[in-house]
Amino acid sequence: MLEHVADLFFPEKLNCLGCDAEYDPQMTESFFCNACLEQLKIDTTRCQKCDRPVEIIYDQLDIYQYKCKTCQEQFHYYTRHISCAHYDTLAKKMILGLKYKGKTEYCKGIAELMIKRLIEEHILDKIEVVVPTPIHWTRKWARGFNQSELIAKMIKTMLERDIQMVQLKRHKRTKKLKQLDKEARKLMLKDAIIIKQEERHKIENKVVLVIDDIYTTGTTVNTCSKVLYEAGAEAIYCITFAMGQ
């Protein structure tokens, strides 16, 4: 599949999305040079629910199916979340550049890495519907786009099979969640995200992929997952580009 993506998108020479150096894309079949690909990796053992790095393998880990202590104690509506990179240096530069400097060309690189991760985790073939996390219309108007929606559209473009995209609605404007802790975020997002009644049938008994740029506390993707779960989704996977602290 990714070989076909390379044929469609890559010219003979390409400038790396990460460092802007010119390189031969046939050497990596990627929008990134090998050096930048190395920066965009999470190599540690990770929780099999939320994908956070688990640095210490404690005795109970195997008993709890390799879930971190947070996921052992808290309920998530999603089946599993996976991420592509740590939110540091290059990944941070790309997310901030996309959201606040309009560098929408980053979407193709982010989508590429998400597809690779979904293939690695044997999730891609299961997906029937993609759902970008929503932002309030006033924020979308000010920014000019919803970055999660752009990434979702790019993934649809790159894949060779028909996948529906369903939009959730953020009908309540909230403060920026960046400086809030998990409990404050949950309170802020309570009843803020909905699915329109006419969209519910597209979700029923389907395997859904929720797409976002960054996973910090997981509140946003879990809130979206709750809405999709209550709409009748069979399973809900989430993918983000970067894993925050």
pLDDT in tens, 91-149: 999 999 999 999 999 999 999 999 999 999 999 999 999 999 999 899 899 999 999 99
Most confident region among 78-92, 166-180, 186-200 by mean pLDDT:
78-92
Q: How far apart are CA 6 and CA 46, in angstroms?
A: 29
- Helix/strand number for the chain, H first, E second: 10, 9
Asked if residues 98 and 104 have their Cβ atoms less than 8 Å apart, the reply is yes
Domains detected in the chain:
1-39 (no CATH), 47-243 (3.40.50)
Q: How far apart are CA 210 and CA 236, in angstroms?
A: 7
CA proximity to 77, closest of 49, 118, 46, 115? 49
| 110 or 27, greater pLDDT | 110
Instruction: Identify the band that residue 154 occupies on the pLDDT scale cut at 50, 70 and 90.
Output: very high
What confidence score (pLDDT) does residue 24 get? 78
**Across 24-38, 57-71, 155-169, least confident range:** 57-71
22's torsion region: left (phi>0), alpha (psi -120 to 50) or beta? beta
Asked if residues 53 and 46 have their Cβ atoms less than 8 Å apart, the reply is yes
What confidence score (pLDDT) does residue 151 get? 97
Is the pTM value of this prediction over 0.75? yes
